[in-house]
Amino acid sequence: MKRRPSIPKYMQKSIVEDTVLMNVVQRYFKLAGVASVVWLVGYFDYSVSWLWLFLVVYVWKEKHYRARKYRKLVARDIARDEKEVILARVDDLPSWVNFPDVERAEWVNKILRQMWPYIGEMVEKILRESVEKSIVQSLPTSLQSFKFSRIDLGNTPPRIGGVKVYTQVKRDEIYMDLELNYSGDSNIEVTIKGMAAGIKNLRLHGTLRVVFRPLINRIPLIGGMLVFFLNNPDLDFDFTSLANALEFPGLSDILYASIQEQISNFMVLPNRFPIKMVEGLDLNKLRYPQPQGVVRIKVVEAKDLIQADIGLTGMGKSDPYCKIRVGAKQVKTKVVHNSLCPVWDETFELIVDSADGQLLYIDVFDEDPGLMHDDLGSISLDLSQLKESGFEDEWFPLEDVKSGMIHVQLTWLWLANQANELDRVIEDLIDEDIVHVAILLLYLDSAKNLPVAVVSPKKCSLAYCRGKKSMSEPSARVVMTVGQQVEESMVRYTTSEPRWEQNFRFMLHNPNYQNLDVEVVDAKTKKLIGHTVIKLKQLLVAEDMVMDQKFRMKTSNPDSFLQMRLCLRILTPNFNPDYIDGLEELIKETAALGTAVDSLTRIDALDLRSHHPCLPPPDPEGYGTPVDGLCINRTISATQQTDSPK
């Protein structure tokens, strides 16, 4: 991406005059359009209700547009000149002003400003050569004309508001939090079947965590990186081309929520974006570490909530409910109608991947007909403090509202790897309202020898049978069910040996009586390919409560199987040092080989997974030779040996 040429001074006045003239013309036609609509309603004798509806939509859109424009201008001013904006606006202070352990990083912003044109070229190359191909492969055949028609990150680079480096971590890793603020003039468009749509003026603000792990004793000194948002970032943007039609009350909110969800599924905990820095590092070890624990939240009640629904007499009530969120996971309480002091008395459990930095959000809303619900206040709680205390039972004042408090009970639960802990947990909590007592960590690796689909159903009475290569291979999706919880894998199109390499988590009421139901379905025909049922009580007697094996499937080819790793952990409030991830001790006793590589190359060889119960299994094809408990790639030279702690 080339730098945009500067505009000569003698042309700037003309540009400003043209811009003012265009604004006047746009304003004229907008008002003329409103007057024309009013005249047409009267001329065709339509009901006045249509006029009121039009005015409501128009006023809402104008208010929404002005608010977004104001936020955009403020964010862009911060990105360009932070000092001046700080003097003018106290509300948007960067984190280094409020928190003494967060340091200012102007030198990073200067480097970013200088490197931004080259970063833009790199991002464009990645999107076109890697992301575009991945998207096309995952789309149905009818939509595989997808491509990026325009990628322009603009001239305004992101800004780092503050940097915090953690010291209480393992000796072979570095944790760094970055307050990321991006408000640029970007413009990205895509086309599908000749139709163009896109976004511009992207604004993003959030805390980005970068984990450098493992540290090694050779250049580049870092084996790999993990990049992810601790909590959902604040996101806003403007639509372009065909997407402008979606800028409509309600519809635009749905689209924004959908895009926010996709970002959460990609880069908000528990999801992580790994980057390999040395040859032989297994990224799955970085991407899928064992969670730190589980937070049990009991939302008891609230009091003195504001009146969201005002009646003709001036008195009013609310229909409150709560949304509870940790990372990308969100749950919701029931709605209590016509009450300012609601009692919910509901219990939830949410998985916590990193207590340091992750927050627990509880938002209280008033349910209204339609898509827009009134905000009744919110709270955000630091999970690291709960991890230290173990239990909290308090009334918390709701923020950003005149009045209101919420009563919450919080319990920190560790993940135990001892089966006898299950009996103690059930016995201690038998009289309480407990939702779950254990967690199942499932790693779905791959499938082999899936049957191909029959092209001509008249030639075979079965939906699937093992046939020639000319027959249609399945597009496999795996559906996993435990009780009422259902998870689905990505679709791997047109292959009888798909690789998913995905992690899933299930909360368990009692593993003694629950089963894991796994179905492999063809996404194109919706036909069942294979099926297996696993009794979870088998994990209680397995070594370290882990099963890492091939699972044969029923109603399928006899040679078909799924490669999965199942890891069971008991939820307990009692701390034991043995419950902490055992990989740290393993690293102290082992070494790995590594050479610096391009971060975009594929993963090979080095595999510590077989030593740790909750990490993905080694490659079933066996592309390596066991050396001192490690799987070393044959292509790595023995002269390039380094210490590679996890």
Question: Which amino acid, residue 371?
Answer: L
Which residue in the block uniquely carries the two structure tokens 């920190």?
412
Residue of 532, 529, 543, 406 whose CA lies nearest to 474 = 529
H helices present in 127-198, as ranges: 132-138
List pLDDT tens digits, range 560-607. 899 999 999 999 998 877 766 544 433 333 334 344 443 333 333 333
% the chain with pLDDT above 90? 23
pLDDT of residue 634 exceeding 60: no
Average pLDDT, the chain: 75
> pLDDT per residue over 12-62, tens digit each?
445 444 555 555 666 666 667 767 776 776 666 666 666 666 666 766 666
Residue 426 pLDDT level (bands cut at 50, 70, 90): confident
Q: Which residue has the higher pLDDT, 38 or 104?
A: 104
Amino acid 189: pLDDT: 86
| C-beta of residue 548 within 8 angstroms of C-beta of residue 617 | yes
Confidence at residue 94, expressed as pLDDT on a 0 to 100 scale: 61
Handedness of CA 3, 9, 11, 13 (dihedral sign): positive
User: Quick one: pLDDT at residue 313?
Assistant: 47
CB-based contact 323:362 (threshold 8 Å):
yes
| Band of pLDDT at residue 470, cut at 50, 70 and 90 | very low
d(CA 629, CA 632): 9
pLDDT value of position 196: 82
Asked if 225 and 281 touch (Cβ cutoff 8 Å), the reply is no
Q: What are the pLDDT digits (tens) for 621-631?
A: 333 333 333 33
Q: Looking at the whole model, is its pTM more than 0.75?
A: no
- Examine the pLDDT at 406 and tell me if it is beyond 90: yes
How far apart, in Å, are the Cα atoms of 331 and each of 362, 418, 579? 10, 29, 27
Q: Which segments of 327-467 are extended strands (E)?
A: 329-332, 343-352, 359-366, 374-382, 391-397, 405-416, 438-448, 452-453, 464-465
Helix 9-43 to helix 48-80 angle (10° resolution) is 160
Q: Is the pLDDT at 420 greater than 70, yes or no?
A: yes
- Short-list 506, 580, 587, CA closest to 355: 580
Q: How confident is the model at residue 82 (pLDDT cuts 50, 70, 90)?
A: low
Q: What is the pLDDT of residue 516?
A: 95
Supply the pLDDT for residue 580. 61
Query: Beta partners for 324?
Result: 331, 362
pLDDT of residue 600: 34
Cβ burial 280-290 (10 Å sphere, 16+ → b, else e): bbbbbbbbbbb
Residue type, 108: V
Give the pLDDT score at 636.
Answer: 32
Determine the pLDDT at residue 632. 29
What pLDDT is stored for residue 410 in this prediction? 94
Helix (H) or strand (E) holding 252: helix 251-267
Task: Inform me whether the pLDDT recorded for 324 exceeds 90.
Answer: yes
pLDDT of residue 390: 92
Place of tokens 């990205």: 188
* 3-state SS track over 307-326: CCEECCCCCEECCEEEEEEE
pLDDT at 596: 41
Residues constituting the chain:
646
CA distance 370 to 319: 14
Q: What is the DSSP letter of 536?
A: T
Torsion angle of C-alpha atoms 369, 373, 376, 380, degrees rounded to 10 = 140
Q: Give the model confidence (pLDDT) of 264-320 as tens digits.
A: 777 787 778 888 888 777 666 666 678 889 999 999 999 999 887 665 445 567 889
Q: What proportion of the chain, given as a percentage, has pLDDT over 70?
A: 64
Out of 151-160, 388-397, 443-452, 595-604, which region has the weakest mean confidence (pLDDT)?
A: 595-604
Give the span between the Cα atoms of 73 and 79, in whole angstroms: 10
Q: Tens of pLDDT along 208-254?
A: 999 888 888 888 888 888 888 888 888 887 777 766 666 665 566 66
Residues 6+ apart with CB under 8 A from 634: 605, 623, 624, 625
The distance between the two most distant Cα atoms of the chain, rounded to a whole number of Å, is 88
Helix (H, G, I), strand (E, B) or coil at 100: coil
Tell me the mean pLDDT in the region 187-206: 83
Q: What is the pLDDT of residues 356-379, one digit of tens each?
A: 878 899 999 988 776 567 889 999
Average pLDDT score over residue span 431-436: 69
- For residue 249, what pLDDT is reported? 59
Does the pLDDT value for residue 418 go beyond 70? yes
Q: What is the pLDDT of residue 251?
A: 61
